Amino acid sequence: MPPSKAPRKHFSMLRGFHLADFFTLGNAACGVAAVFFAMLYMASQSLHHFYAAAAMAPAAFIFDVLDGRIARWRRQHSAMGRELDSLADVISFGLAPVTLGFAAGLTGGWDWVAMIYFVCCGVSRLARYNVTAESLSEGADKVAYFEGTPIPTSVIITGILAWLASIGSVGAAIYGGVWQVGPWELHPLALLFALSGTLMISKTLHIPKF
């Protein structure tokens, strides 16, 4: 008789995760929490919720750094881990910052365009990294440099938003005011997202990876 197949076990996918992958999920969890806190801020207008949303960015960054270091320490690199890392980064460093920006008052039509552009650039940059990582590493254990700025650099924007909230420059008093450009409003602050997105998709900007 042919050997019977082993029964499938619940959570078999999670059993196949490496230690670093759980830190990657911690990164994603911080990003989701940031979105929730930003939405709470919009309902409550409590700066505690705004600061909590902003604080999730450095927390996610710490998880992002640790998952890479743990993977190198344990010599456990996988395509699954790389995809998990990119998906988590989209949430924590792509979606979460624009949600906080929207909560801060970047609600004009052109603000939407700038922030959607930012997220699309982040997704494109991560996809490019995943398909070029092998060639960029040149046989080494890790990539020697980044093409364009890494998406976690959006923690700078989150920090700026937190600082502006601390001095009362969000909401109706948002820093830079608002311009009427054609049919839609533009808050100049939203251009930070457009600039960050453009730097992420740069092909000529090389940043050494330490």
DSSP label of 185: E
Single-letter residue type at 194: A
Nearest-angstrom CA–CA distance, 91 and 119 = 10
Nearest-angstrom CA–CA distance, 201 and 134 = 18
Nearest-angstrom CA–CA distance, 67 and 85 = 8
Full pLDDT tens readout for the chain, 210 residues: 455 555 555 555 555 566 777 888 999 999 999 999 999 999 999 999 999 999 999 999 999 888 778 767 656 666 666 788 889 999 999 999 999 999 999 999 999 999 999 999 999 999 888 887 656 555 555 666 678 899 999 999 999 999 999 999 999 999 999 999 999 999 999 999 999 999 999 888 777 765
Nearest-angstrom CA–CA distance, 148 and 197 = 9
Measured CA distances, 154 to 120, 142, 178 (Å):
14, 22, 22
> Could you tell me the domains of the chain?
18-208 (1.20.120.1760)
